[in-house]
Each structure stands twice: as structure tokens, then as C-alpha cells.
């Protein structure tokens, strides 16, 4: 196993899987909120961002699956731990935004199911 592959997988796990998934979900929520307020122009613009974030997040998840298959169990455990560490760090960063905390909670449950 290459140290380079693990470093790449770790970066992907934190920035692509965790943060990317959260960005996609939050952008979707914000688009829905704008639409509910009747701000359809903002909703459309935000939805474009949400679509791009979802596509990037999906690619990160595909990459995570591929990289994990190349790694030994010790490194896969380290990736799972890094994912949860990244989630905990995000909780601190967004602690004042109830909507984002709710999304993060739901994502975390899905990831650990």
C-alpha cells in the first residue's frame, strides 16, 4: 500500500466525502428555503450550486470506495476515524446554525448505519 494513496484517500474523505456532502445538502436546503420565500431567481442559482456540489460529492464517494478497496484494514479504519473527526470538527464550526447541524446529524447517521 502506498503512503501516497492513503494521503490522497484521507484528503478525499475529509474534503470530498464529509465537507462535500455537507455542502451539497446545505445548498439544496438553501435553494428550497429561497423557493419557499418566493425568491425563485435565488433558488435557481443556488440549485445550480447544489447540483455541482452533489456531482462532486458523488465522485468523492466513488473515489472513497475505490481507494478503500486498495487499502488494508488498518488504513480503512483510519479513514473511518478521520471521517468522524472531520464531522466533529464541522460540528464546532457550524454549532450556531441549527439547520446545518440537523443535516450533519442526518448525514452522520447515514454514514454509520
28-53 pLDDT, tens digit per residue, is 999 999 999 999 999 999 999 999 99
Burial of 71 (0-12, 13-18, 19+ CB in 10 A): middle
Whether the model pTM is above 0.85 = yes
| Domain that residue 62 falls in | 3-112
54-103 pLDDT, tens digit per residue, is 999 999 999 999 999 999 999 999 999 999 999 999 999 999 999 999 99
- Which pLDDT score, from 0 to 100, does residue 30 have? 95
Are the C-beta atoms of 1 and 72 separated by less than 8 Å?
yes
**Among candidates 8, 2, 6, 4, which has minimal Cα distance to 77?**
6
For the chain, what percent of residues have pLDDT higher than 90? 90
- Which pLDDT score, from 0 to 100, does residue 1 have? 53
The band of 3, judged by pLDDT with boundaries at 50, 70 and 90, is confident
- For cell 447544489, name the residue: 50
- Which pLDDT score, from 0 to 100, does residue 31 have? 97
- Which pLDDT score, from 0 to 100, does residue 77 have? 94
- Which pLDDT score, from 0 to 100, does residue 112 have? 80
**What's the domain count of the chain?**
1
Amino acid at each position: 500500500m502506498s503512503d501516497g494513496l492513503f494521503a490522497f484517500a484521507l484528503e478525499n474523505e475529509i474534503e470530498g466525502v464529509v465537507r462535500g456532502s455537507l455542502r451539497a445538502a446545505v445548498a439544496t436546503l438553501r435553494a428550497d428555503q429561497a423557493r419557499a420565500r418566493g425568491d425563485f431567481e435565488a433558488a435557481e442559482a443556488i440549485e445550480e450550486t447544489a447540483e455541482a456540489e452533489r456531482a462532486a460529492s458523488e465522485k468523492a464517494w466513488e473515489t472513497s470506495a475505490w481507494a478503500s478497496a486498495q487499502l488494508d484494514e488498518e488504513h480503512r479504519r483510519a479513514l473511518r476515524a478521520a471521517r468522524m473527526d472531520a464531522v466533529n470538527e464541522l460540528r464546532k464550526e457550524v454549532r450556531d446554525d441549527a439547520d446545518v447541524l440537523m443535516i450533519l446529524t442526518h448525514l452522520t447517521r447515514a454514514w454509520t448505519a
